[in-house]
Structures are given as structure tokens and as C-alpha cells.
């Protein structure tokens, strides 16, 4: 061949631009999904309208005089105060049965029963001074939302749960503001959440960090240090003490742990001392903001979570009659108007609670008539305030049903007229108690009806936005489906269509922003993003319609089994029972899909012989197929076994009480000492060791552990160090409470430093991998008698030159190595050998996944390491099985494609992993302890880092499987090399027959035979994976929309949508990182070959 110099100026730059455009196209599709999710969310999860109106002493809530006067008395406002001071003791997560009296002398079956003996003693000895209630919280049962309800008398909506650790100042009228407005002095001590809700509202405050749920004593001991000295002073009118120990004990140990008994005993001693120091003009309020589940969690609406305790005590008689045998149920919002009137304050403007009538009997009143009159006056004031709020809210928001509001106002007008008539009769002394009780019943009917109407309508859906978000999501799914079927065609100009669509999108954003500004509406990000996304999407689809005649096949996501699978998964999301049972449904579907894979191999004759194959599990001959068939069946059995074992690490939804969560989800520190704990710790260490050794064994087998490159050295030495740091952290964290006092400081420092060291090592390893991603060992020898002929002079100057020479170089390396191993080096002298080049892409991805896995593993409890090991093995078996079903291309230059079946199985495995690591798509199941791994003392005031740690723990499966998604494309090529090692075809004596010589396997270098097909395959893979995930989000959106008035919408469907949407965001970003990593390795491989050719020419 005569050397000819080829000049293709700029082709290398064009190739790099095409890779960047592939990544940009996937990022654009992700943006379309994000915009649809944001638009739907802005219409579905809205907070109610908060009015800025405030009540004041100068303005009564309605017309008419007050029974008993009060406005001229010292300290009086709407009515005369009954108490001049109050002490509010808020014991976080004080469940009702923690306070419920327990018969003396009987052994308590649970550690938390009968511990608050001081309350039981007061109820028995002073029944007219003390009263216990069931304090019913409205979901969500998170602390910040409960504090808002306890101070405003209103109902925080569902979406407020997202800001539980990023408290925003309360703007609505509230008790704290009313106290400040009337010159009262408020002293606070305890949970620093109050600082964010009421900044600058306290005359004196002692805030303590609240987020460290492992710390049972810092907040409580800090309060006790200041509580009793403050009680002795006269510089306060309202004292609030918010204890957190009971709540933290529940999170750390659960309610059944002996530590809960110790913490409740401490609270009992505090209350006993507090009661002794109370003065006659002081009211004591002891309350829980919410309860807790049997595992110590809260946030949902189960009975143990919403049933807290409320205890009221006064040194003088407060109640006109003895308490009922069964404590009365009182909604939490009822405390707000009750406290306001008892302290002589205006009721907050937005309150929808109802006064507690028993507390409004006049001191010294012995006649039932006088008590009834006092209660009627309190109810009428309360009803006037609620009526005023309904009127103002209806004018501002117009989302309450008009007919219901009119009915309630008519009911109030009727009751108000009767009240005025009662006042007239009072002057003549012709008032009967039965008439007053009838009036009270009518006023209560109004108050309860108003609360019910607000509760039912404060979801305030915006159907237009919900429909727009749903249409945008559905259109983006259609885009992914259609485009994935066209990417393999070289004529498909996706880059031109993309750039034009982005330009149209920017123009749409500009026009929409101009319209919003001209209309006087604020620039809402969700609307702007949705407008730009919709414009660019319509431009793309319209251009696609004009340029291409789309066949019907591109509108079908794969074969019939995939259609059935997508339909079943989507339809199941419309049933709350199936959503709750998804932890069992996902493994079942995965097993069914695996069985279908093996059945397909059998139907094609590739399992037990009868058909040609290029898989790494079978060979071109029927005899080899029969030999490889048992191995495929073995892979299937191993996969099914792993799926079954991983289901042992399950967590039951709270709606299925017959189900028992796995005890293996609990940390080792909850086990106490003993041989069982040591055995479990040994098993966890074994899981770490097997994981590290398995990765190193695979890399060594593929030849990627021989290079002196920094990433390879880190895999050799850094991974064992990370495993050692993880093991040491587990040992110290599980036994930190048992450490000797002189070693406590050392143990505490190690518990902080070791996780950070592991995280730092992982970051260093990823940095080294990005710096030198080519993990290949090159060995040179004697020159080859048959040099490679190329159509250019000198080193390659373009991407086209590289694309021509790289496959030849790799084939020559393979032939030389084969000849040397066979002992025939006389015919083929070894000039150059590269170990690990055939698996260079997958080696980088596997290394990155391993480095990511260790920090994610640290965020889980110790025994989850066994689940991680099982799931890693399961993923390997699945890849092997998928490679058998997909096969590998031989001489065909492309196009490369990953079938829908493989991508569906991968997505199902990610879902199964989410459940098999102890997660559920509900807020009470979130592993909050992950926020304190490496930060046991908390994070200060910033919620960003704890949110990232908790998010990484929750969505670890989404992160790992999305980064590893390119393995679906790469693994069949890796298996090509594994299969070729088993193909030892005997040659005829001394001669080769032309055409029968077996081609050396190119493995992943085959991808460089056709760079266009490689880029198209990565784009198609990303689009298919986004389609599978997008269909899941779309199904959740449709279910939440259609069933938005369903009884279980806020308990099941809304949390499922939120978890699915956030999981999609995490998965899509991780997918972009995985595709970018493969492209980065491809660029590095090109540079490596350039340097290799230059070095050989020298």
C-alpha cells in the first residue's frame, strides 16, 4: 500500500462536538421532564393562601356586647383573662399512652407505661384542678408543621413537610405575635426550630440544636438548667419549654427500649418539681406535638402518630365537674383559641379551632346557668372570629365551596340572632339553661363545619397546571420513545433539531416572561420553565413530523412482554393496595422477566443447542450451546436466589400491621452486647471483604488491574483502606456507649473522622479515575515482521485516522498475544501488548460504582452491607443473563442497540434495591440517622448537607443503577472476550483454510469501529432509560390527579408521586454522569492511541 497523507481538518473537533451534543440532548430531555414535574407540582402540592390580617384588642371580631364584660378590666382584651401567666411544656412525640394512667401494683408490659406518675397522681387527687385529653394532631406529623398549628390554630398543608428542617418565619397571626402586641413577655427554651419560626419574638431565649436525633440529653439538660431559675423570676408572662429527649429516644431506640423509660422518668421528675413551684395565677399546659409509630418514627397519619397527650393543671379549681372515664379527644388547633381567651388575648385571625368549653366556668360559679353563660360567651367570640376569617378568606382565595360558605354563614347568623335574644332575656331573668345549651350546640356545629370545610378544600388544586404538567410529561415520554427508534439512522439530524428547539424554547421563555410582566404577575420559575420546555418540545416534534415519515414501530416500546410489563406497573399505581405492595410486586416482575429471558433463549435454540449465537454464554455450535445451557440455567437460579435473599431486608408499610419488618434493619448498637452482635459484625466484615475482592478479581481477570496508572493503584490499596475505615466506624459506632470514660473522647473523634476519611478517599479515587481513566498496561517487544499499513504519513491527525488504525492495532495485539500463549512465537513476534484494552470502558464504570458504593454503604446501618453484597451479585448475574439474551455483534459495524427488555429489567432491579435496603416511599420511613454519619453533633443551621446525606441514603439505588446503566451496552462486548477464551478450534495439520480462521474478539474496541454508532447507542440507551422512568412518573401523576379526592391521596398517592419524582431527578442526573464518564473514557482512549502510535514511530 502506498502511503497517502489524508487531511480531514476539524474532524476530531466535530467528533467531540457530537459527543457533547449527545450529552446535551439527554440533558435537554431531562429538562423537559423536570419542567413537567415542576408544573404539575405547582398545581397539586400547593400551600393554602396565608392572610396577613391580624386580630387586635381595639377591634372585636363581630358586633354585640359580651357576657360578663371584660373590656374595661385590667389586662382584658376581648374578654377578661382568667390566668395572668402560663407555662407550656412541650414534650416532643409525647404519645397518649405514654401518659395514660396505669394501675398501681401491676407490672407494666412496656417500658413506657406508667412512667409519668405525677400526672396520674394529680388526676386522682385533684380532679377539678387537672384534666387529661387525647390531643389529636393533623397530618403531616412533623414538628415544624405541628408548631405552626399550635400557635396559629390553622392547618399546615402537605407540602409544608418539605420545609421541616428549613423553617420559615410564621407570617400569619399567631399566639406569640398577640402576646408581643399586648406587651406580654415570652421566654423560650429548647428546640431551635422556634428560632426560625419566630425570630426576635422572645424576650429571652435559650435555643439548643434539634436535628441530632442521636443526642438524647443535650436539649433536655439545657432546659432543666434554666427552667426552674426562670420560674422563680417575675420577668415573664408565658414560659415555653420544648423538650426533645423522648422524640430522639424514639428515633434512636424506639418506644420499647429501656432508654424510653429513663427519659420518661426524667420528664416525670421535672413535672413534679414544676407543679410545686406553680403560683395560683399560672396555668400549666403539658402537651405532645405528635406521637410516634412502634419503630419511633413520625410524619404520617397513623393512629399512634396523630394521637398525642394534652394535660392541663391549675393550682385552683378549674373544671366544674369530674372528668369522663375515657379522656376526651381534642384537636390540636383547639388549644389556640382556648389559651388566647384564658390569657385575655385576641384569638389569632386565621384560627379555625374551637374553644375547650370546660375551661370557661367562672371561679366561684356554683350555678350551672352561670357556667353555661360563660361558655356561650366564649363560643360566640370564637364563632365571630371564625366567621370573619371565612369571609376574608373567601374574598381573597375563592377556593372554598361558595354554597358551603353560604350555608355556614347562615348557620352563624341564626346562632348570632339567638345569642342576642339570649342577652335580652338575660336582662329580664328569663334565661333557661336548656336554651343556652341549645345555642352552644348550634355554635359548635358552625365551628366544626367551618373546620371540616377548610380541611377538605385546603389542598387548593389548580387543574390547569396539573393538566399542563401531565401533557408535558406525556409528550416528553413520546419524544423519548420516537427518538430512540430513530437514533441508529445516520441520516437522523438530532443535533440540528436540538439546537433549533432550544432556540425556540428560549424565545418562548422570553415571550412568556414579557407577558407575565405586562400582566402584572410575578415571574414564577415553574411557569417559565414549563413555557420554555413546551415551546422547544413542540418545535422539535413539528420539525420531526415534517422531515420524517415515522413508522408505527417507533411508537411501540419493544415487544409484547415489555408492553405488558409497563401496563401492569403503571396500572398498579392507581391502587393504594398495590402501591403498598410494590415491595413484593417489583421482585415478582423481575423474576418473571428473568424467566422470560431464559425461555427466549430456549425458543431461539441458544439454550440447549439448535441455533447460532454470539453470546458469551454459548457458541456457534450446538455442542457448545448444550454445554453452556446449564450455565445459563445456573445464572437464572442464582439470580432468583439473590432476589429472594434480598427480600429479607424489607420494611413493612405502617398500613399492613400483620406484616413484620425485618429485624436486620436495626443498627448493631440496638442489640446490646453478646455473641450475636459479634457474629453479625463478623458477617458485615465478610460482606465488605467479599465486595472488595470480587471487584479486584473481575478487574484482574479482564486485565485492568495490571496497569501502574493511579486509579489502578488506588483500587489495589485505596479500596482496602476504605473497607477498613468502614469496618472501624461500624465497630466504634455500635459500641460507643460501652467505651470506657477515658476513651470516650478518642472514640467520639474516630466516629467523626472515619466516615469523613472514607468519603475523602472515595473523592480522591474518583478524581484519579477522571484524571487517567485508561487502565491499560502496555508491554513492548521485538518489532513485528508485518507492520500495520495506514493511508496516512506520520501520526494520526484526525478522528478518521484514529478510527481507521485503532481496530487494526487492537487486532494485531490480540493476534500477537494468542501466538505467544500458544507457543508459536516464531511466526508472530510480540511487538506490542496491551492488557485490559478490551474492557477499558466497563472497568472505569465498575470502578466508579465501587467508589460510590462505600460512602452510600456508610449511610446505611451495618447489616445492610449484606443486602448491598447480594444486590451487587444479583446485578452481575443479571448482566450476564442479559448479555446471553442480547448477544454480541461480530463482523457487523453496527448499529449497536440495547433492547427494551434489558433496560426494563435494569430499572426493575433499581426499584427492587430501593425496597431491599429498608426503604418505603413514605416520610416516616426515611432514614434520618444518615444525616449524622460523620456529623454526630449536627450541622449547625444549614439544612443543605443533612438533606444531601439523607437523600443519598434514600435514593442510593437510583444513583448506583443509573450511573451503571451504560454497562447494559458494554457488557455484551466484555462477554465476547470471555467467550472467546473457550473457543479453541483445532487447525488442520500445518495449514489454514481460507475463510475458516476465527476472528480475534475486539470486545469493547469494536465500539470504535463505528464511532457514530457508539454515540447513537449511548443516546438511544439514555432515551430508553428515561422513557421507562418517565412512564413511572407519568403514571404517578395521573393517579394523583384522578384520585386527588381519594381518602388515601395524602397518605399513599402524594408521597409516592414525590418519591418517584425526586427519584427521577436523581436517576436522570446520575445517568448523565454515567454517559459522560463513558464519553470521557472514549476521549482518553483516543488520546492514548495517539501517544502509542507516536511512541512506536520513535
List of residues 6+ apart from 1044 with CB closer than 8 A = 44, 459, 461
Burial 827-839 (b: 16+ CB within 10 A, else e): ebebbbbbbbbbb
Helices in 647-718 by DSSP H: which ranges?
A: 675-701, 710-713
| Whole-angstrom Cα Rg for the chain | 35
Q: Of 16-20, 173-177, 975-979, which gets the smallest average pLDDT? A: 975-979
Burial 1022-1038 (b: 16+ CB within 10 A, else e): bbbbbbbbbbbbbbbbb
Provide the pLDDT for residue 976.
Answer: 76
Provide the pLDDT for residue 833.
Answer: 59
Provide the pLDDT for residue 68.
Answer: 47
Q: pLDDT-derived band of residue 997, with 50, 70 and 90 as boundaries?
A: very low
Distance CA 552, CA 126 (A): 81
Distance CA 706, CA 699 (A): 9
DSSP 397-455: T--S-HHHHHHHHHHHHHHHHHHHHHHHHHHHT---HHHHHHHHHHHHHHHHHHHHHHH
Cβ 659 vs Cβ 652: under 8 Å? yes
- The grid coordinates listed for 250 are 424514639
Distance CA 568, CA 566 (A): 6
Mean pLDDT, residues 946-957 taken together: 92
- Residue 238's DSSP bridge partners are 86, 186
Provide the pLDDT for residue 429.
Answer: 72
Q: Of 61-70, 89-98, 202-211, 947-956, which gets the smallest average pLDDT? A: 61-70
Question: Position of cell 365537674?
Answer: 321
Cβ 261 vs Cβ 111: under 8 Å? yes
Q: Which residue has the higher pLDDT, 810 or 767?
A: 767
Q: pLDDT-derived band of residue 496, with 50, 70 and 90 as boundaries?
A: confident
Segment (H or E) for 528: helix 525-547
Provide the pLDDT for residue 1015.
Answer: 86
Q: Which residue has the higher pLDDT, 467 or 937?
A: 467
List of residues 6+ apart from 61 with CB closer than 8 A = 55, 78, 346, 347, 381, 384, 385, 387, 388
Mean pLDDT, residues 447-451 taken together: 92
Distance CA 163, CA 943 (A): 10
Q: Of 385-394, 507-516, 798-807, 941-950, which gets the smallest average pLDDT? A: 798-807
Mean pLDDT, residues 127-137 taken together: 91
- The grid coordinates listed for 315 are 393550682
Provide the pLDDT for residue 624.
Answer: 44
The 10s digit of each residue's pLDDT in 583-632 is 899 999 999 988 888 887 777 666 655 444 433 433 444 544 455 667 77
List of residues 6+ apart from 233 with CB closer than 8 A = none
The 10s digit of each residue's pLDDT in 44-87 is 876 667 788 899 888 888 765 554 444 445 446 888 888 999 99
Q: Which residue has the higher pLDDT, 1085 or 16?
A: 1085
Distance CA 950, CA 913 (A): 17
Q: Of 729-733, 781-785, 844-848, which gets the smallest average pLDDT? A: 781-785
Distance CA 190, CA 81 (A): 27
Provide the pLDDT for residue 811.
Answer: 58
Q: pLDDT-derived band of residue 673, with 50, 70 and 90 as boundaries?
A: low
Distance CA 1062, CA 1056 (A): 10
Q: Report strand pairing: 777-780 vs 204-208.
A: unpaired
C-alpha of 107 from chain center:
42
Distance CA 582, CA 1011 (A): 40
The 10s digit of each residue's pLDDT in 904-937 is 999 999 999 999 998 999 887 888 888 888 887 7
Edge-first strand order for the sheet with 186-191 is 204-208, 186-191, 238-243, 85-91, 282-287, 307-313, 130-136, 329-331
Region of 934 please: left (phi>0), alpha (psi -120 to 50) or beta: left
Mean pLDDT, residues 15-42 taken together: 88
- pLDDT of residue 394 exceeding 80, the answer is yes
Segment (H or E) for 1068: helix 1054-1097
- 3-state DSSP of 262-279: HHHHHHHHHHHHHHHHCC
The 10s digit of each residue's pLDDT in 291-342 is 888 878 777 677 888 899 999 999 988 887 777 788 899 999 999 999 999 9
Segment (H or E) for 225: helix 218-231
- Of 818, 808, 788, 1095, the C-alpha closest to 977 is 818
Mean pLDDT, residues 487-492 taken together: 71
Cβ 923 vs Cβ 1055: under 8 Å? yes
Provide the pLDDT for residue 231.
Answer: 92
- pLDDT of residue 165 exceeding 60, the answer is no
Region of 926 please: left (phi>0), alpha (psi -120 to 50) or beta: beta
Q: Report strand pairing: 282-287 vs 85-91.
A: parallel
pTM of the model: 0.75
The 10s digit of each residue's pLDDT in 833-872 is 567 778 889 999 999 999 999 999 999 988 898 999 998 9
Mean pLDDT, residues 781-797 taken together: 45
Provide the pLDDT for residue 825.
Answer: 44
**DSSP letter assigned to residue 519:** T
Segment (H or E) for 308: strand 307-313
- Mean per-residue pLDDT over the chain, rounded: 80
**DSSP letter assigned to residue 773:** -
- pLDDT of residue 164 exceeding 60, the answer is no
Region of 323 please: left (phi>0), alpha (psi -120 to 50) or beta: beta
Mean pLDDT, residues 225-238 taken together: 92
List of residues 6+ apart from 854 with CB closer than 8 A = 719, 722, 723, 726, 758, 761, 762
Mean pLDDT, residues 419-430 taken together: 80
Provide the pLDDT for residue 264.
Answer: 92
Mean pLDDT, residues 166-187 taken together: 85
CA distances from 77 to 59, 322, 338, 704 (A): 9, 30, 14, 81
Distance CA 920, CA 394 (A): 38
- The grid coordinates listed for 457 are 378544600
Distance CA 176, CA 556 (A): 60
Mean pLDDT, residues 503-532 taken together: 80
Question: Position of cell 466484615?
Answer: 685
Mean pLDDT, residues 1017-1038 taken together: 94
Provide the pLDDT for residue 157.
Answer: 64
The 10s digit of each residue's pLDDT in 800-809 is 445 545 555 5
CA angle in degrees (0–180, nearest 5) for 834-838-839: 115
- pLDDT of residue 893 exceeding 90, the answer is no
DSSP 1014-1055: HHHHHHHHHHHHHHHHHHHHHHHHHHHHHTTTSTTIIIIIHH
Cβ 932 vs Cβ 938: under 8 Å? yes
Cβ 834 vs Cβ 777: under 8 Å? yes
Provide the pLDDT for residue 612.
Answer: 41
Percent of the chain with pLDDT over 90: 34
Distance CA 619, CA 613 (A): 6
- Of 328, 422, 427, 433, the C-alpha closest to 380 is 422
Q: pLDDT-derived band of residue 995, with 50, 70 and 90 as boundaries?
A: very low
Mean pLDDT, residues 162-191 taken together: 80
Amino acid at each position: 500500500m502506498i502511503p497517502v497523507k489524508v487531511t480531514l481538518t476539524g474532524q476530531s473537533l466535530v467528533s467531540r462536538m457530537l459527543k457533547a451534543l449527545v450529552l446535551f440532548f439527554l440533558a435537554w430531555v431531562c429538562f423537559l421532564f423536570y419542567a413537567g414535574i415542576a408544573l404539575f407540582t405547582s398545581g397539586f402540592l400547593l400551600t393554602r393562601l396565608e392572610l396577613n390580617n391580624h386580630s387586635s384588642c381595639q377591634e372585636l371580631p363581630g358586633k354585640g356586647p359580651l357576657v360578663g364584660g371584660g373590656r374595661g378590666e385590667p389586662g382584658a382584651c376581648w374578654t377578661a383573662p382568667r390566668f395572668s401567666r402560663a407555662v407550656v411544656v412541650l414534650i416532643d412525640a409525647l404519645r397518649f399512652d405514654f401518659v395514660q394512667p396505669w394501675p398501681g401494683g401491676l407490672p407494666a408490659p412496656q417500658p413506657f407505661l406508667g412512667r409519668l406518675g405525677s400526672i396520674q397522681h394529680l388526676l386522682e387527687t385533684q380532679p377539678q384542678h387537672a384534666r387529661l385529653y387525647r390531643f389529636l394532631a393533623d397530618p403531616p406529623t412533623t414538628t415544624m408543621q405541628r408548631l405552626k398549628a399550635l400557635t396559629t390554630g390553622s392547618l399546615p398543608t402537605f407540602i409544608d413537610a418539605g420545609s421541616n428542617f428549613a423553617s420559615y418565619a410564621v407570617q400569619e397571626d399567631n399566639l406569640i405575635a398577640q402576646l408581643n402586641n399586648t406587651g406580654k413577655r415570652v421566654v423560650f427554651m429548647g428546640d431551635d426550630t422556634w428560632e426560625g419560626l419566630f425570630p426576635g419574638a422572645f424576650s429571652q431565649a435559650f435555643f439548643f440544636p434539634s436535628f441530632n436525633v442521636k443526642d438524647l440529653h443535650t436539649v433536655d439538660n439545657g432546659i432543666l438548667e434554666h427552667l426552674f431559675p426562670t420560674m422563680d423570676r417575675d420577668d415573664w408572662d408565658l414560659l415555653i419549654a420544648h423538650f426533645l429527649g423522648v422524640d430522639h429516644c424514639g428515633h434512636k431506640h424506639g418506644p420499647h427500649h429501656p432508654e424510653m423509660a429513663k427519659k420518661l422518668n426524667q420528664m416525670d421528675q421535672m413535672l413534679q418539681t414544676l407543679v410545686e413551684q406553680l403560683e395560683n395565677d399560672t396555668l400549666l399546659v403539658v402537651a405532645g406535638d405528635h406521637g410516634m409509630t412502634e419503630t419511633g418514627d413520625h410524619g404520617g397519619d397513623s393512629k399512634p402518630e396523630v394521637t398525642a397527650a394534652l394535660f392541663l393543671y391549675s393550682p385552683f379549681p378549674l373544671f366544674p365537674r369530674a372528668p369522663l372515664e375515657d379522656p376526651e379527644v381534642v384537636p390540636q388547633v383547639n388549644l389556640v383559641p382556648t389559651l388566647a381567651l384564658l390569657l385575655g388575648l385576641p384569638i389569632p385571625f386565621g384560627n379555625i379551632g374551637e374553644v375547650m368549653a370546660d375551661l370557661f366556668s367562672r371561679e366561684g360559679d356554683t350555678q350551672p346557668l352561670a357556667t353555661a353563660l360563660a361558655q356561650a360567651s366564649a363560643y360566640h367570640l370564637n364563632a365571630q372570629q371564625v366567621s370573619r376569617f371565612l369571609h376574608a378568606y373567601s374574598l381573597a382565595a375563592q377556593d372554598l365551596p361558595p354554597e358551603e360558605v353560604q350555608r355556614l354563614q347562615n348557620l352563624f347568623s341564626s346562632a348570632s340572632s339567638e345569642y342576642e335574644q339570649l342577652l335580652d332575656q338575660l336582662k329580664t331573668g328569663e334565661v333557661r339553661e336548656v336554651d343556652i345549651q341549645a345555642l352552644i350546640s348550634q355554635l359548635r356545629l358552625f365551628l366544626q363545619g367551618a373546620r371540616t370545610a377548610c380541611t377538605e378544600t385546603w389542598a387548593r388544586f389548580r387543574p390547569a397546571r396539573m393538566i399542563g404538567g401531565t401533557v408535558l410529561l406525556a409528550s416528553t415520554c413520546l419524544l423519548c420513545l420516537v427518538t430512540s427508534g430513530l437514533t441508529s439512522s445516520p441520516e437522523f439530524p438530532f443535533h440540528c433539531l436540538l439546537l433549533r428547539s432550544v432556540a425556540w424554547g428560549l424565545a418562548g421563555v422570553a415571550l412568556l416572561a414579557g407577558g407575565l410582566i405586562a400582566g402584572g404577575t410575578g415571574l414564577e420559575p415553574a411557569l417559565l420553565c414549563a413555557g420554555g420546555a413546551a415551546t422547544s418540545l413542540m418545535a422539535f416534534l413539528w420539525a420531526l413530523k415534517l422531515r420524517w415519515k415515522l413508522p408505527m414501530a417507533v411508537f411501540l416500546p419493544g415487544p409484547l412482554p415489555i408492553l405488558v410489563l409497563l401496563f401492569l406497573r403503571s396500572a398498579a399505581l392507581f391502587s393504594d393496595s398495590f402501591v403498598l405492595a410494590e415491595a413484593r410486586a417489583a421482585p415478582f416482575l423481575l423474576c418473571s422477566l428473568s424467566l422470560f429471558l431464559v425461555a427466549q433463549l430456549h425458543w431461539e435454540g441458544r439454550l440447549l443447542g439448535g441455533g447460532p449465537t454470539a453470546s458469551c454464554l454459548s457458541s456457534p455450535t450446538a455442542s457448545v450451546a448444550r454445554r453452556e445451557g446449564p450455565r445459563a440455567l445456573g445464572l437464572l437460579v442464582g439470580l432468583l436466589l439473590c432476589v429472594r435473599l434480598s427480600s429479607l431486608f424489607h420494611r413493612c408499610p405502617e398500613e399492613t400491621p400483620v406484616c413484620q419488618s425485618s429485624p436486620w434493619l436495626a443498627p448493631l448498637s440496638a442489640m446490646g452486647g453478646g455473641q450475636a452482635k459479634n457474629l453479625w459484625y463478623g458477617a458485615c466484615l465478610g460482606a465488605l471483604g467479599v465486595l472488595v475482592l470480587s471487584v479486584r478479581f473481575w478487574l484482574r481477570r479482564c486485565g485492568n488491574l495490571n496497569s501502574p496508572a493511579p486509579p489502578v493503584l488506588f483500587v489495589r490499596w485505596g479500596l482496602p483502606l476504605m473497607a477498613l475505615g468502614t469496618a472501624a466506624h461500624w465497630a466504634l459506632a455500635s459500641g460507643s456507649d460501652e467505651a470506657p470514660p477515658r476513651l470516650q473522647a478518642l472514640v467520639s473523634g474516630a466516629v467523626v473522622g472515619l466516615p469523613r476519611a472514607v468519603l475523602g478517599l472515595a473523592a480522591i479515587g474518583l478524581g484519579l479515575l477522571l484524571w487517567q481513566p485508561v487502565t491499560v498496561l502496555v508491554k513492548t517487544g521485538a518489532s513485528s515482521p508485518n507492520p500495520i499499513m495506514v493511508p496516512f504519513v506520520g501520526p494520526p491527525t484526525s478522528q478518521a485516522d484514529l478510527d481507521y488504525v485503532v481496530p487494526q492495532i487492537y487486532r494485531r495485539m490480540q493476534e500477537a498475544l494468542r501466538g505467544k500463549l500458544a507457543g508459536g512465537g516464531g511466526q508472530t513476534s510480540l511487538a506490542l501488548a496491551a492488557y485490559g484494552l478490551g474492557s477499558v470502558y466497563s472497568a472505569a464504570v465498575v470502578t466508579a460504582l465501587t467508589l460510590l458504593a462505600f460512602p452510600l454503604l456508610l449511610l446505611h446501618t451495618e447489616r445492610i452491607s449484606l443486602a448491598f453484597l447480594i444486590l451487587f451479585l444479583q446485578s452481575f448475574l443479571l448482566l450476564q443473563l442479559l448479555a446471553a439474551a442480547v448477544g454480541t455483534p461480530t463482523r457487523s459495524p453496527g448499529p449497536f442497540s440495547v433492547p427494551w427488555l434489558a433496560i426494563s429489567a435494569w430499572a426493575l432491579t433499581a426499584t427492587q434495591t430501593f425496597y431491599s435496603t429498608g426503604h418505603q416511599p413514605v416520610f416516616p420511613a426515611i432514614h434520618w440517622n444518615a444525616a449524622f454519619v460523620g456529623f454526630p453533633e449536627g450541622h449547625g443551621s444549614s439544612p443543605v448537607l443533612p438533606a444531601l446525606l439523607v437523600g443519598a441514603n434514600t435514593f442510593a439505588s437510583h444513583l448506583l443503577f443509573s450511573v451503571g446503566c451504560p454497562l447494559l451496552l458494554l457488557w455484551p462486548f466484555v462477554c465476547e472476550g470471555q467467550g472467546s477464551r473457550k473457543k479453541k478450534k483445532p487447525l488442520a495439520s500445518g495449514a489454514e483454510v481460507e475463510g475458516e480462521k476465527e476472528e480475534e474478539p475486539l470486545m469493547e474496541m469494536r465500539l470504535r469501529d463505528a464511532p457514530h454508532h457508539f454515540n447513537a447507542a449511548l443516546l438511544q440507551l439514555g432515551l430508553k432509560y428515561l422513557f421507562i422512568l418517565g412512564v413511572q412518573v407519568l403514571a404517578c401523576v395521573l393517579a394523583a390527579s384522578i384520585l386527588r379526592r381519594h381518602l388515601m391521596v395524602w397518605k399513599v398517592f402524594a408521597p409516592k408521586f414525590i418519591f418517584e419524582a425526586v427519584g427521577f431527578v436523581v436517576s436522570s442526573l446520575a445517568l448523565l454522569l454515567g454517559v459522560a464518564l463513558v464519553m470521557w473514557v472514549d476521549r482518553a482512549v483516543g488520546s492514548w492511541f495517539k501517544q502509542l502510535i507516536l511512541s512506536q514511530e520513535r
